[in-house]
A and B are shown apart, each in its own frame.
Chain A
Amino acid sequence: MSSLQSTLSQYLADPSEVPGAAAEIICAPASLPDAAKVLEACSAAGASVVPWGSGSQQRVGGLVPADVILSTHRLNQIVDWQPDNMTVVVQGGVRAADLAERLAERHQTAVLAEIPGESTVGGLVATGASMYRRARYGPIRNRMLEATLATGDGRVVRGGGRVVKNVTGYDIPRLVAGSMGSLGLIGEVCLKLWPMGAAHATVRVDDPERAWATAYRPLAVLDINGSSFVYLGGTPAEVAGQSAQLGDVVSDQMLWPEPWIGSGDEVRLSMRVRPSDVADAVASLPSGWEYVAAYGVGEVSIGCPKVSLDELADLRRFAEARGGALVVLDGPTALYESFDPWGSPPSSLDLQRRIVARFDPDRIINRGRLPGGL
């Protein structure tokens, strides 16, 4: 490792710059070609690499050891915002909160995390975190127009383009969303933007299933621990007209549930089922557990201080029987050893292995972080 450390000397960062990161070597390249050089050196040395944004989602889907932590905090430029084209090019280390603040100047949104905290664009893309407004705007992969990666074997590779519609070649940007960094470090992405509604409302409803069926294109319909809300955005007339029909207006702002920050203390799960199974999924949860159930989407985020392996296995059976999955987002380290964070691997596992091998032949980035130990 010491020879690798010296090879990487010009890219090293002080550990204090990267809170929470624990590895012998912490690098923070300031450009994509530099990141590629770091990865090429790591590949040659057979060193395992964990890309690092804010560190808030490092426990999603698996805990992997790192010889080298590759922090994106110096890749923090908003490279090219074209408000009139409704696109923005940002580097992976840009904080989602900073991007949101900037885009708000022209009432635009990249529809990333509603309450982003410290999370970075690269981290949100890597974990495929589509959050609540996907009910209206679709998952994050739908906003990925272009992606530039530093691959495991040290190449800088770009796919897609900076236009809103594009079939020029294979859709690498979309593949990158949710790839857990397995194809490469997410150095730069071009995102499609949406106009923010002029008016908003959070409306309390009794029956979320009915609310989803009757509301016209809401931003979200959430059941938060037994209280249900419809989130509306659009023109003032549209929001006012719909609110009145749906229930009681609680706020003219969006009252989103507080996000969780990965800490290892508490078990956090994501249950994914068909939208029609959400009510049953909620009913299947033991009492006292916290949850946010997204109607019309099919995702139930679950938080539980204490949970037995049997309970987890039951939940997973429930989800997988419905064509879904139960994914561990966070939890004590011991849990990861006794309970596969992803569950049954997909039927395309062999194919996925072949793909990853072509981007990261020595399999150094986040090894084992994908389903099936990939």
Chain B
Amino acid sequence: MGWVTDSAPTRAELSACVQCGLCLPECPTFRLTGKETFSPRGRLMAMSAVADGVVQVDAAFEAIMDSCLQCRACEVVCPSLVPFGRAMEGARTELTAQLPSSQRKARHLVVGKVLASPALLRMATLGVKAGQKMRIGKLLPATLRSGFQGIRPIMPVAVEAGSTYPALGERIGRAGFLTGCVMDVWFSEVHAASIALLQRAGYDVVIPPAQTCCGALAAHDGDMKDARKLAQKNVVAFANVDVVVVDSAGCGAHMKEYENFTQDGEAFSKRVFDINELIAIAIGSGRIPTSATERGDVAVQDPCHLRHAQRIVDQPRSMLRAAGYNPVEIDPDGRCCGAAGIYSLLQPVLSQQLGAAKADQVRVSKAKVVASANPGCEMQLRSYLGSGYEVVHPVELLWRAVQEDDR
């Protein structure tokens, strides 16, 4: 039957792979299993097999696709520049169309609809908050428990849609801030720090009220219809800002690729910046002060969608140094922590192995504070590290330092 949707992996995407295998060592799931069926090259070859009519989109094909973390570490080392992440989203779209399992449908309800609906999210949040109060984490099944335990205590929402936060000092532009879905209510401290630093950096920060979920989780799971809708909505919502600022690596990486989802996405993507990028520039130009106080070691965890998808590596380290911290490297290979969006729920065994390995890398570093610029990674690290460690977004550390030094 081959492919049935217009999002399927294209001939050009697939033939770009010459099967050299240089991606294999970077793939966390290949490293764990030693199997081609868990490797980028294998996944692309399986897609080619469908394209060539050799195999069908069946359960075995689905298993090969679903084990992918979509961390995109493979893309960094690919000398053929294969757009693997895009091809995988295409393959997942085909799975949605050809193997519409009830489980997948239920997932799409969450990633495509609930995350985009403030009202539904508020309900979910209330549930989590109540759960945290009642300490039900221990009662949950293992696959859900780790994720739940990684969630920050729910705080009052700090950022109101429609607000404007004026630039301090010389004004250099107007920044539209993505509050996101989960980040909005579950990570309000990170938002507060990001906005405060952006103000310092000379941006008028606005929170466009019409914005919605970025659509990354929907796209990763093959829910192309919702992903397109969400992208279109955001393109309109952020029409009147100079830059679109994102403080979640996964959302930023996705919004930088809106060209795959809406017609005017390419121009939009050029205006999208991760918070790390803008703040690092501001530090470099002196608009944000560099602290003279030494504050100790911080282990740096590179979210895949920051390091591999957006190729942002130096900036979070610059921020930490500016905050007076000593950034400690924990993983020269930048391997995925296993959170990977909803992967921890869908592939608990592999996710658990990767999460535990990442936590071990942190422990070896001796640092007690870990900086991670993505909510999923943060939750994963927190749950695998347990007590005794603080897991924060780098902007929080910098904002704290700036405030302390101001006093």
Q: A contacts B directly in the complex (CB < 8 Å)?
A: no
User: A residues near B, CB below 8 A?
Assistant: none
- B residues contacting A by CB (< 8 A) are none
